[in-house]
Structure 1
Amino acid sequence: MLLVAMKLQQLRYIVEVARHDLNVSLTAESLYTSQPGISKQIRLLEDELDIEIFERSGKHFVQITDVGKEVISQAEQILLQVENIRRLAREHLAPEHGKLDIAMSHLHARYLLPQLVGHFKEQYPQVVIHLHQHSPRQMLQRLLSGRADFALSSWPISDHPELIGIPFCRWKRVLIAPEQHPLTQRNELTLGDIALYPLVAYVSSCGRLSGIENFFREQGVEPTIGSSVCDLELVVRYVEQGAGVGIIPGTLLADRPLASGLKVLSLGFDFPDEVGVIMFRRHRFLRQYMLDFISLCNPSLSKAQLQQQLQRPQQEWTQEVLANLPCLG
């Protein structure tokens, strides 16, 4: 058993080093172990296989070898299946007990998770829930490493082939601006009108522009980015301070009074909604309480429907699910 456990540990190390861009220090930190220990176990694995998985410059990994890429790909599948076996056993022994690890954005943590978690705990009081607020990149890392069961974020977070994303909510976006701003004097707004003025843009903490700016450019309009912030609520604060206009999900204003001197404008044209998505690892065994959590997020999908849909290519059913989502405001 010691040999099997050691080999699984070695496989986990090479997979995590690859996911952390060959940074052994960050890998050790994420796995709560030592950097020398990881390096030693990887060398032992390479010696056993009589290959090099990583090219080195001194003590540093600089590149994954061609054969190393294949080994890491196989190691990912082995680790996934091992975890699936463990989940299957736990489902058989204690279906009402377990844990649920959820990575999420600030928007979903504040406006959706409290109600969802409350309903879920009524049904599964013995399931321990761990909630972690992360950037999109961190959420992807947690999903791919198996440290998160689900990630809740805005669509699209990623088109990674190992991940499945299910839309589960939609929010109308609105524009906020000072009361005396020229845009407030117009009966109808166009993208061209908005692009004339500085926009307080939301940029995720991994540096990616939100879908709003991308939508402008897809329509052939270049927005004027006056400033950028990494928190949607900061968009409201900066507009309050006169830094520009902002486009936000209307739900952000549901439980807070808008500062005097600001005005909310509807976006009458076909401006895309903010879409929430729940993501999880493809081919991962989902316990019954996990399927129930997905159904809580999107009540239009029963467990039976969800399992049926997952057998189809995602692009075939994503738009169907999205079309049936109610808009939350």
Structure 2
Amino acid sequence: MKLRQLHFVHEIVKHDLSITAAAEALFTSQPGISKQLRLLEDELGVPLFERSGKHLTRLTPAGEQIVQIVDRVLLDVDNISRVAKDFSDGNRGVLSLATTHTQARYALPPAVTAFKKQYPDVTLNLHQGSPPQIARMAAEGEADFAIATEALHHFDELVMLPCYHWNRALLLRPGHPLASVSNPGLKDLARYPLITYTFGFTGRSQLDQAFKAQGLQPNVVLTAVDADVIKTYVRLGLGVGIIANMAYSAEEDDDLVAIDAGHLFSRSTTHIGFRRNQFLRDFMVRFIETFAPHLKRDLIEQVIEIREPAERRAFVAEHVGEVPAL
């Protein structure tokens, strides 16, 4: 059994059982992967995949269990390299963050700036995507950390730590009827066209739940993943914007009226997530502490030791303490 063969199996599964796509991702040939896969199956004495002609159709029961072990083996191989690098050159490396536009644009800059001052030789790779894409990148090892408000809880293999609470703001053009209403309610909002985040982004689920709880149907006329895009269309008069409060700047957005919407919606929580079995290099732990100072090294190490997702969540809820609000 060769490590290269395990890499091939991992990539085949990752690319929806396409040997062609796996070969392209690994810069090798499709026949070469097929040959190595056959050799591995012959050695193991069981097929890992069911086939229809030359195409792989699904994992066999044995394959499903073996793939889980393959993933752990490859992660441990990666951890060996991380441990060695941490001892040989702890202040140099690469840190990959997967996050949404809102986090990258408004929440992360202070932490990234402070982190880069402390670790100038660490290269930061910032990947943006939807919350499910972000969580999947962390779960599959394409990113070290996932930072998002939605979707991370769907991936049990991720350790999730709460970074901060936040709520929303209403954005209006001056002269809009709601601009003169103190503490507008959801019924007031439901009378006007709304512009907000695409479903699945930046706490959008909390917004929909609030309207539903009151039996209201919001008139959402435009959605976007980017708060700056939402602001643009509010300025054009298309509707009332509902954005994360952190995305409003009194200086940059002084042509808009902002109303705090904390009384309308439940607060949302942004989490940082990473694979439990992933070795965290020293600078990775320091990034978490920089981004969320209430998350200390001892706590992070204790959470990592807990195998069961439900137990991890209970431990975090009990021991994290007060989570700050933005």
TM-score relative to the length of structure 2? 0.85
Q: Is the 8 A contact 1:176 1:239 kept in 2?
A: yes
Matched residue SS, 2:153: coil
Q: Quote the Cα distance in structure 2 between the aligned partners of 1:211 and 1:40.
A: 47
Q: Is the 8 A contact 1:197 1:245 kept in 2?
A: yes
Q: Give the match for residue 148 of structure 2.
A: 153
- Output the amino acid matched with 2:80: I
Q: Give the match for residue 186 of structure 1.
A: 181
- Output the amino acid matched with 2:221: G
Matched residue SS, 2:98: strand
- Output the amino acid matched with 1:295: E
Matched residue SS, 1:78: helix
Q: Is the 8 A contact 2:163 2:271 kept in 1?
A: yes
Q: Give the match for residue 71 of structure 2.
A: 76
- The answer to whether the aligner puts 1:291 opposite 2:280 as a matched pair is no
Q: Is the 8 A contact 2:17 2:56 kept in 1?
A: yes
Q: Give the match for residue 326 of structure 1.
A: 324
- Output the amino acid matched with 2:70: A
Matched residue SS, 1:131: strand
- The answer to whether the aligner puts 1:14 opposite 2:9 as a matched pair is yes
Runs of 4+ in 1 over 6 A off after TM superposition: 206-209
Matched residue SS, 1:158: helix
Q: Give the match for residue 166 of structure 1.
A: 161
- The offset of 1:69, in angstroms, is 0.8
Q: Give the match for residue 295 of structure 2.
A: 301
Q: Give the match for residue 248 of structure 2.
A: 253
Q: Is the 8 A contact 1:16 1:145 kept in 2?
A: no
- Structure 1 gap ranges (5+): none
Question: What does 1:27-42 correspond to in 2, within 5 Å?
Answer: 27-42=22-37
Find 2:95's aligned residue among 90, 94, 100.
Answer: 100
- The offset of 1:315, in angstroms, is 1.7
Q: Is the 8 A contact 1:169 1:325 kept in 2?
A: yes
- The offset of 1:306, in angstroms, is 2.3
Q: Quote the Cα distance in structure 1 between the aligned partners of 2:280 and 2:130.
A: 24
Q: Give the match for residue 126 of structure 2.
A: 131
Q: Give the match for residue 232 of structure 1.
A: 227
Matched residue SS, 2:94: strand
CA displacement, residues 43-102 of structure 1 (integer Å, 9 cap, x when unaligned)? 332233232222223333222222211111111111122222222222233323322122
- The answer to whether the aligner puts 1:110 opposite 2:112 as a matched pair is no
- The offset of 1:156, in angstroms, is 4.5
Matched residue SS, 2:152: coil
Structure 2 CA distance for partners of 1:268 and 1:104, relative to 1, 3 Å: closer
Q: Give the match for residue 121 of structure 1.
A: 116
Structure 2 CA distance for partners of 1:210 and 1:53, relative to 1, 3 Å: farther
- Output the amino acid matched with 2:324: P
Structure 2 CA distance for partners of 1:237 and 1:30, relative to 1, 3 Å: farther
Q: Is the 8 A contact 2:299 2:320 kept in 1?
A: no
Matched residue SS, 2:265: coil
Q: Quote the Cα distance in structure 1 between the aligned partners of 2:226 and 2:18.
A: 28
CA displacement, residues 256-307 of structure 1 (integer Å, 9 cap, x when unaligned)? 63374x4222214252334322111112111222111111111112212322
In angstroms, what is the RMSD of aligned CA positions? 2.9
- Output the amino acid matched with 2:219: T
Q: Quote the Cα distance in structure 2 between the aligned partners of 1:65 and 1:83.
A: 26
Give identity over the alignment, percent. Answer: 36
Q: Quote the Cα distance in structure 2 between the aligned partners of 1:82 and 1:323.
A: 35
Structure 2 CA distance for partners of 1:89 and 1:193, relative to 1, 3 Å: same
Q: Figure out how many residues of one structure are paired with residues of the other and give that number.
A: 321
- Structure 2 gap ranges (5+): none
Q: Quote the Cα distance in structure 1 between the aligned partners of 2:112 and 2:201.
A: 29
Structure 2 CA distance for partners of 1:88 and 1:190, relative to 1, 3 Å: same
Q: Quote the Cα distance in structure 1 between the aligned partners of 2:261 and 2:40.
A: 58
Find 1:210's aligned residue among 204, 209, 219.
Answer: 204
Structure 2 CA distance for partners of 1:49 and 1:226, relative to 1, 3 Å: same
Find 1:278's aligned residue among 269, 272, 279.
Answer: 272
Q: Quote the Cα distance in structure 1 between the aligned partners of 2:28 and 2:185.
A: 54
- Output the amino acid matched with 1:300: H
Matched residue SS, 2:164: strand
Q: Give the match for residue 135 of structure 2.
A: 140
Q: Quote the Cα distance in structure 1 between the aligned partners of 2:45 and 2:157.
A: 29
